[in-house]
Amino acid sequence: MLKELAQEIAKSISEIIGYHLLITDEFGIIIGCSDDINRLETLHRASLEVIKSGKPKFHDLQEAQRLEVKPGYTAPIQLANKVVGTVAIGGEPEDVGKFISIVKKQVEILLRQEIILKSSLLRERALQNLIQEISVFDPDTKDEGLLIIRGQELGYNLTRPYIAIVIDLYQFSNITQEIYQHSSIEDSPEMMIQLMKIRVDNTIKNAFNSTEDISTSIANDKFVVLHAINQRQSENEIIAQVKKKCFELEINLQKLDTRATMGIGSVSGNISQLRNSYREAWRALTIGKRNNRLPMIFSINDLYLEELLSSVNKNISQKFVVNVLYSLQKQSDWDELSRTICVWCESGFSPINTSKNLDIHKNTLFYRLTKIEQISGFNLRNFRESITLYFAVKVQILNNDLSKKMKQV
């Protein structure tokens, strides 16, 4: 029995039925009392017989005086076929008798809900701790067997193949701010935010609903899924399947007026690889967001080039960008030109595909390509020179994003 809950239940139910009510623990000690808080932590003698028999009983005035309690009905509170306490209503039998069964059931329901909620919160914390331990796992200093056992205690087999997916709610701070601004006096913005998070969490769990899938939140706006995968599929098939699930999840999140960016790691076969998959998922998300303005889904398998470029020495990369892009960056339409360079290379140097992917006329494309060539001195029909421009633009995007983050810090 939870003492803080018992007092709240006693007061709220007493207000509804109009009679004084108290609740005891399994030893007959009062832990909730609607009319006199001085009775808390004292023995309610009338409850002892009820606890022992497991049956409700009315104590009349004479018996109540003998037991040093008030006349009324006392009934056992039972959870999982075990008496865990009692509930007592003070009053005459004809007045309170009609309430005792209803009150007993209501108290039991409230206690079950509280136990389920607390159990759920404890499990969520255990999952968060498990994810944290996986993310920092070092096979040279830590025992993999202990982590496997911890997973088994929660019902998961960490020796099977998994792939990590991380989910970052898009502009979550703006969403919460809007909730605070538009909440009425009767509404609790904190409650509304929690309900939104629960809906998001349920939507994620519905998308990744295998009994072996591990899903939990690690912050208000960030969630992690360790998705159990089929060993018989190739990595490309697995990634394609996971992307499909992520796109379906994004559609369902939009129905909740929420959007998200998602990062996908590589396939893992053991805990060390799972740690790498988790870290790769975050890197994919970070790198992908640098290169795209809209919330999207990013797989590390599609971003190895960007990951490689981001690891280049900062001084060397800055010198490379200046040497290649200095003249182009001074142009007022640099954003258009840089995007044109990227799409030109990513479209296989095809004028038709490039103009289609940029959603511009072919003549506009040729004008931009000509301008880029004249200003930079690079030939966009030459593979090596085109790729040099492409790499320079990618490095410049990565460096700019890093600089912004350092300024924020």
| Closest C-alpha to 193, from 173, 211, 207 | 173
Q: How confident is the model at residue 2 (pLDDT cuts 50, 70, 90)?
A: low
d(CA 166, CA 263): 5
Rg (CA), the chain: 32
| Cα 187 to Cα 169: distance, rounded to the nearest angstrom | 23
- pLDDT score recorded for residue 402: 45
In 170-316 the beta strands, taken as DSSP E runs, fall at 214-219, 222-228, 260-268, 297-299
Instruction: Write the class of the CATH domain 314-408.
Output: mainly alpha
Q: Are 249 and 111 in contact (CB under 8 A)?
A: no
Q: How far apart are CA 342 and CA 314, in angstroms?
A: 21
User: What is the tens place of the pLDDT at every residue in 48-72?
Assistant: 989 999 999 988 888 888 888 888 8
Where exactly are the structural domains of the chain? 3-118, 158-307, 314-408
Phi-psi region of 169 (alpha: psi -120 to 50; beta: other; left: phi over 0): beta
pLDDT averaged over every residue in the chain: 87
Class (C level, CATH) for 158-307: alpha beta
Give me the DSSP letters along 62-85.
HHHHHHTS-SEEEEEEEETTEEEE
pLDDT at 291: 65
Alpha helices, DSSP H, located in 208-292? 235-254, 271-291
Is the per-residue pLDDT at 406 higher than 50?
Answer: no
Which residue bears the tokens 């939507």? 203
Tell me the residue ranges of DSSP E strands in 148-193. 162-169
Position 188 scores a pLDDT of 65
Q: Apex CA 236: angle with CA 278 and CA 356, to 5°? A: 105
Residue among 169, 170, 148 nearest 160 (CA)? 148
| Residue 356 pLDDT greater than 50, yes or no | yes
For residue 185, is pLDDT > 80?
no
Contact 56, 74 (CB under 8 A): yes
User: For residue 157, is pLDDT > 60?
Assistant: yes
3-118: what fold?
Beta-Lactamase (3.30.450)
pLDDT single digits (tens) 77-113: 998 888 999 999 988 878 888 888 889 998 888 888 8
Position with higher pLDDT, 405 vs 216: 216
pLDDT digits (tens, 9 = 90+) for 320-340: 999 999 999 999 999 999 999
How many contiguous H segments (helices) and E segments (strands) does the chain have?
15, 10
Least Cα distance to 14 among 30, 36, 29 occurs for: 36
User: Is residue 295 predicted with pLDDT exceeding 70?
Assistant: no
pLDDT in tens, 370-390: 999 999 999 999 999 999 999
pLDDT value at position 165? 97
Residue 405: per-residue pLDDT: 41
Per-residue DSSP letters for 96-157?
HHHHHHHHHHHHHHHHHHHHHHHHHHHHHHHHHHHHHHHHT--TTTS-HHHHHHHHHHTT--
Confidence band, pLDDT 50/70/90 cuts, at residue 403: very low
Q: What is the pLDDT of residues 14-35, one digit of tens each?
A: 988 889 999 999 999 999 998 8
Beta-sheet pairing, 57-59 with 72-79:
antiparallel
CB atoms under 10 Å from CB of 132, counted, come to 12
Q: Pick the residue with more confidence: 403 or 128?
A: 128
Helix axes 93-135, 144-153, angle to 10 degrees: 160
